[in-house]
């Protein structure tokens, strides 16, 4: 296959991003971090760095009318961006919103979307400063950009993990992916259980306060939010840090709801914990010398539960330590546009 024959489905979202990363910076003034992390970073301005992130939600790709209410869609559009700010240890301050709208869209639904957006912005103290509105041929598209800030000495990147660092996650895994499977009728459950998991998928909660707490401790070496799945996002940390990882199969935190769903539908819940996307927890690496103090901070602050799920290793691969003591090398693919079904 020649270069002219390659299609984006052949290289995927991340392959495409890597292909356009070169020659993007034409001035280094105030540029700290460009493409390749949860946010771009510019500054410093006095002792602060600015964080900039943007995310696009496309109808029939990221959401389906009838599967999520307009108000919840607005809340989710904000939450996924705030999660990127949390992953850098920052505070979100301003937001820009752009919409591409089919002509047949009801104004009532658009107002509901904005109500959800304003609810989230009020909750986290974020100002809506503007954006753009355009017509769309057939699908609604929502693009949100958020500006945040972080202390220059507290910002966290993906590239700081080192062999021996513990790998932690700030909550249970796999619930959002389970909710999506229920929405798509790939799994079934009693109404109360199904509604709980679907709500987790439709209304993610950004870990802003937890991210700020982790940044303030200055104990973490790297951090990322879990949007594409544990394995895929851990791979981002490993690639940026030139390291590998060993996960503890028995240490993966599962909610009672996911375990109940797995019993009803006869599947291994660890599969969703490893590869399911849109958990929006924080994945954190911490040097061994700080492990005890780091865990005590969570016990004191009580903002979230923290779980030790593995260790950064020297070999550039990701393995999982199974309950029988055997190490199994894993396929690290999570959700990826143009490749994932």
Query: For the segment 22-73, what is each residue's pLDDT rounded down to a tens digit?
Result: 777 777 788 999 888 899 999 999 999 999 999 999 999 899 999 999 999 9
Query: Whole-model pTM?
Result: 0.92
- The strand order across the sheet containing 48-58 reads 31-33, 40-45, 48-58, 141-151, 91-102, 127-136
226 closest CA partner among 274, 296, 288? 274
Q: Is 26 exposed, middle or buried (0-12, 13-18, 19+ CB in 10 A)?
A: exposed
DSSP type of residue 316:
S
Strand partners, 147: 52, 94
CATH 3.90.650.10 for domain 166-329, yes or no, is: yes
What letters, b where the CB count within 10 A reaches 16 and e where it falls short, cover 108-120? ebbebbbebbbeb
Q: How far is CA 275 from CA 20, 49, 110, 282, in A?
A: 26, 32, 33, 15
CATH 3.40.50.720 for domain 18-151, yes or no, is: no
Structural domain spans, the chain: 18-151, 166-329
For residue 277, give every residue at least 6 positions away whose Cβ sits within 8 Å of its Cβ, in sequence order, or none: 176, 177, 226, 227, 228, 229, 232, 334, 335
User: At which residue do the structure tokens 């392959």 appear?
Assistant: 15
DSSP type of residue 281:
P
The tens place of each residue's pLDDT in the chain, 341 residues long, gives: 456 677 877 777 667 767 777 777 777 788 999 888 899 999 999 999 999 999 999 999 899 999 999 999 999 999 999 999 999 999 999 999 999 999 999 999 999 999 999 999 999 999 999 999 999 999 999 999 999 999 999 999 999 999 999 999 999 999 999 999 999 999 999 999 999 999 999 999 999 999 999 999 999 999 999 999 999 999 999 999 999 999 999 999 999 999 999 999 999 999 999 999 999 999 999 999 999 999 999 999 989 999 999 999 997 899 999 988 888 887 655 455 555 55
pLDDT of residue 274: 95
């Amino acid at each position: 296959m020649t270069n002219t024959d390659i299609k984006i489905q052949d290289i995927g979202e991340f392959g495409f991003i890597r292909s356009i990363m070169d020659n993007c910076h034409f001035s280094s003034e105030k540029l700290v971090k460009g493409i390749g992390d949860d946010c771009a970073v510019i500054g410093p301005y006095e002792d602060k760095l600015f964080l900039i992130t943007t995310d696009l939600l496309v109808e029939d790709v990221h959401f389906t009318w009838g599967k999520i209410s307009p108000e919840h869609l607005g809340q989710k559009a904000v939450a996924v961006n705030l999660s990127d700010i949390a992953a850098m240890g920052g505070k979100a301050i301003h937001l820009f919103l752009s919409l591409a709208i089919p002509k047949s869209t009801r104004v009532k639904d658009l107002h509901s979307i904005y109500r959800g957006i304003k609810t989230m912005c009020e909750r986290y103290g974020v100002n809506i400063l503007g954006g753009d509105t355009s017509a769309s041929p057939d699908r609604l598209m929502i693009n949100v950009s958020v500006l945040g800030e972080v202390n220059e000495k507290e910002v966290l990147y993906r590239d700081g993990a080192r062999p021996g660092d513990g790998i932690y996650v700030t909550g249970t895994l796999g619930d959002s992916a389970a909710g999506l499977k229920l929405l798509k009728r790939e799994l079934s459950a009693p109404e109360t259980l199904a509604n709980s998991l679907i709500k987790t998928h439709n209304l993610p909660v950004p870990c802003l306060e937890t991210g700020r707490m982790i940044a303030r401790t200055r104990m973490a070496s790297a951090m990322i939010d879990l949007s594409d799945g544990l394995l895929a996002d851990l791979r981002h940390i490993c690639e940026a840090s030139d390291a590998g990882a060993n996960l503890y199969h028995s240490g993966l935190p599962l909610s009672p709801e996911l375990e109940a769903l797995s019993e009803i539908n006869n599947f291994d819940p660890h599969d969703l914990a490893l590869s399911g996307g849109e958990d929006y927890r924080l994945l954190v690496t911490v040097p061994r010398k700080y492990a005890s103090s780091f865990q005590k901070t969570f016990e004191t602050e009580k903002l979230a539960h923290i779980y030790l799920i593995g260790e950064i290793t020297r070999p550039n691969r990701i393995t999982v330590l199974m309950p029988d003591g055997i190490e199994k090398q894993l396929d690290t693919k999570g959700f990826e546009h143009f490749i994932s079904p």
